[in-house]
Amino acid sequence: MSAENKRRILIVDDSRTMRRMVATSLSNIGECRFEEAANGLEAIERLVLGPADLMILDLNMPELHGIEVLKFVRARPMYQSMPVIVLTTKGEESVQREAMAAGASLYLTKPFSAIELEAKVRGLLAEAGDKA
């Protein structure tokens, strides 16, 4: 199975530990390759360079807030329907609402379990697969 046929999942979080944990949590999902971005600018660049099948996006990042990233990305025709899971922390209900309004598919509150994340990603990928 060549790299081109694999689904490209973009993990965006300024914390290296988080990125590793997310990638490892999803490692059981077949036919996927993971890319990481440490800030919103890098995430946008990676999306410009090629399509992604799903993005996991942390909100509280330096340089560019996750919601800004989301808004920018959703404005691009190619990414209007890409599944996006945003990561928030507890006690940020207003930010969660804002994120959903900006076009997030789902949100997950830190700390979350690997199993939860995997299940949600599988669900979104399956849905997107159906639509294709």
Which residues of the chain form contacts with other proteins (CB under 8 A)?
Answer: 14-18, 20-21, 24, 38-39, 41-42, 44-45, 48-50, 60, 62-64, 72, 75-76, 89-90, 110-114
What's the min distance (Å) between Cβ of 129 and other proteins?
Answer: 26
Other CB atoms closer than 10 Å to residue 49's CB: what's the count?
Answer: 9
Please say which residue, 1 or 49, places its beta carbon nearer to other proteins.
Answer: 49
CB 12 within 8 A of CB 37: yes
What's the min distance (Å) between Cβ of 31 and other proteins?
Answer: 22
- Residues 49 and 52: their CA atoms lie apart, in Å, by 10
What's the min distance (Å) between Cβ of 114 and other proteins?
Answer: 6
- Residues 113 and 21: their CA atoms lie apart, in Å, by 10
Please say which residue, 24 or 81, places its beta carbon nearer to other proteins.
Answer: 24
Element (H, E) at 44: helix 40-49
Please say which residue, 7 or 15, places its beta carbon nearer to other proteins.
Answer: 15
What's the min distance (Å) between Cβ of 74 and other proteins?
Answer: 12
Handedness of CA 104, 63, 51, 48 (dihedral sign): positive
